Each structure stands twice: as structure tokens, then as C-alpha cells.
Structure 1
């Protein structure tokens, strides 16, 4: 069983080689068949749409099953919670409301109480239930409990879906906007970091991950492989700027345990106002 790790192009190639029990050169030689030697050709390489192209090249036939055990995911946050993540892992929103943890205590110090009970999250400010007219914030606070991240470690801090997280966690921002408490965001300290963690495929929300709307784990595996191959082709041509990084969504009730936190990648302090 192997881990799919797209920390960069080299680790992605190495991962695919282990998944298929072949050499790195075997993977590279297949990719070279997709690269055009003629410089004037409109496109430098052919995108790969069918995983059987790889299987036929490697084995001369289709492959009945893959053996991806886990994938590496990259999650944007700040180092204000680094010690908490090291000790407790990454906690989903529902679990935050039923345990003693840094984020829950931070909110409590700003008169915000969060309680989880029977599948529901109850949030109050100054002992009054929060009522938010903004439907987006309401959904995030009441229903969107899951942890998410990215498949590729490629400038995720610039992605419009998560760039706001370099300031503070989404729940802190949403509550701050709902109750008009600027201190909630202002008092959150720290520089942006990327949390690199491992997660098994069985813990992924298959339908939402990558916007692929998959129904089975086998389909998900194939899409992960296809997108990794095309990611490597872009990486080989130093052309990742316009490549769509795939968001990974974990199941709503899954929290990442501390033993599955692989690393913390530091970033330079970003200009949040830009």
C-alpha cells in the first residue's frame, strides 16, 4: 500500500512509481510520450484523460486495482495554532464544540461559546444565540464542519478559496462578521503556515473532492492518478500558474489525529491587504 504525495513533482513521480511497483524511469518514460519535441507545436504536451493509457504502457493491459492507502493533503492556517495541532491534530468544527481545545478557548475568551450536541452546533455570543442573516456564514457555522486542503503543494496561499485563512480561521472570521466583533479577528496572531497531513481515502468526501462527483473509491483513485500525471506534466514545463489545484474535502465527522500530521511548512509573512 502506498501514499500519494504531491509535495512537488519529484515526490509525485516517486509516489506513482511505488503505487504501481515500477521505477521512476518507467513513469517518466510514459510522460515523455505525451511531450511534443516540436517547439512550434501549439501545446507542449497532450493532457491525459484515460488512465488505461498509463496501464497499457506499463503492463500492456488494464490494471484491475490500485493500492493507494493514503494521500498527503496541504492545509492553510497560521502558526498561532501550531502547538495545538501538534498536540491534538486538525479538529473539525463539530469536534471543536465538544472538547477542550485552543480554538474553543480562544472564542470563549471573546464571549463566544460553541457547543456540539446530537449532530448540531450551537454558537452564542455574550450568552445569546448567534443569528446571522448572511446565508453563507450561516451555512458555514451550522453545517460546514469538514476539514479541507489541497492535493498539490503549489502556492495554495494564493488560492481565492482559502487566501483569507492567512488572517485567521474561517469560523473566527464568520462569527466576527455576524456579531460585529472586530477583536475576534484582530487578536488572532501568527504567520501563515501550511499543515502537511496524511489521510486515508476512506476518510475523504468522495463526491465533493476535486469537484469530480465520484461515487466509488476506485473512481476517486483513478481521478487522483490522472490529475497527478497532468500535474507532473505541468511541473516539468514549469507551467503550474494556470493549473487547477484540486481541493480535498474530508468527511464531516473526521478529525486528523496528531500522528497523521506530517510537517509544518513556513511561509513568508504575506501582505494580507493585497
Structure 2
């Protein structure tokens, strides 16, 4: 007997996944089907509107390359990336809060010594970022890995302008010392727009939204026996802290990049005095 799809197509599709061996995949496909069908029933898109939606997703896929992930960008501007982080992030209120990975963690960061610079082009105001990686109880974590990446002083990542920036500019993979400390030299990050030359940019323009992110540096911290954290360090006073295009700002991650007048510290860091200095502690939960 033919199925009367006008009334029970949703459950017919859900039932079609009954043989899925992976129970979690079966659960996800069933929920996706029910919510997607509910969206269609609520909004009643025309055939032309649905075709345009499919075209939009097709264009998003075509925009993806080894150096650009337009689907991550779409997830970011819809707030889904940050929602997933919130649902899966740390459970301990004393641990460093997690944020989005972003679309530019597309290449492996070069290994660098503590105190080295990640700014190979010198386009921004020089600064030092230092801090520690700690366990939740305050115990330093020696040998912790710290993956760092940021845009240059003009707001571009190395993969965006390979003709201007050498590979690995703004990136570094550091290992904390015996007291869990890290430090590196860089430039003070600046606000920048996410890429707007693709379908995500068209979506923002159509909805009257700006594409800007506040100034920030990305971090992934990991240590043996602890859950890794993907997070940001935001520059206090930066524009767009209250309207980040990807909804990733958390107050606990906003820090001063203060002008520091300390000749001995400047000598230790290998920079001219006075200098801009940000301090950042990353606290990891035991796994």
C-alpha cells in the first residue's frame, strides 16, 4: 500500500533509518528529520525558496578550500558553533571557558621556543603575551602544549594572504616550562571582518549584520590527564566586544594589553621598554 506522504512523511523518513547500526547516528538523523520537517511546516517555504536554500548550501561548499572553511563560518554566524561549545565545554566553573575554533585553524602551527615571536611581518604594535597553564587545583602543568594563532596587525591570517605573509605567520606551538609558564612575542591583535566575499557574507548583508570580530588571539591548551580547551584571549576595550559576529566573547576571556614600564621585564622578554603586555592563565579540567 502506498504511503500517504502528506500526513505521515516525517515518521516514514524516521522509520527509514531504523536499520542504522550506530544508535547515536540513528538518534541524530531522527531528530534532524523531525526538526527540519517541523521548520518546513511552520514556515511553508515555496519551491523557489527551497531551491534557493539548496543553492546557498551548494555555494557554501564551493567556497571551501584547504585554506577556507565556509561551512564553519556559516555555523559561526548562526551561533551554532558557540552553542555546541557551550553544550560540550567545561563543567567546572573554575576552568577556562571555551569558545569557537573559527575557520582559520587550517594549517599546523610551527613549533617555537618559549619567548619566540609569532609576528614575522611586523604589521602591528609589538607586545608580549605570558601566563601559565594550570590544573583546576592551581597545580602548574609543565610540558603542556599551547597552540596559538591570530591575524596580523591588518586583520588577516597567513592563509588569507600567502603573497604577503609567510606560512606560519601569527602561529606558534609552545610547550610550557617546568612551572607551567609560557610566553611569546607578537603584535597587539586588531578587530577584523570575517570573510564576506562568499555566501556567508551575502547572508550578513541581506540581514543587515556587520561582519566584525573584536581583537583576539586563539588558543588551544592541552596537557596529559586533562581535557583540552579551545578558547580566545580578547583585548579589553576592543570594538565589537558586545556584538561579535560569531557570538564568541566571554567576559572571563577579556584581558588588558597594558602598557608596561619595567626595564628588567623588558630585558627578560627581549623587547624594548615600555611595551604592551597581556597576562593569561589557562585552567584545565582533569579528564
RCO higher in structure (CA 8 A, sep ≥6): 1
Point out the structure with the larger helix share: 1
| TM-score, with structure 1 as normaliser | 0.21
| TM-score, with structure 2 as normaliser | 0.20
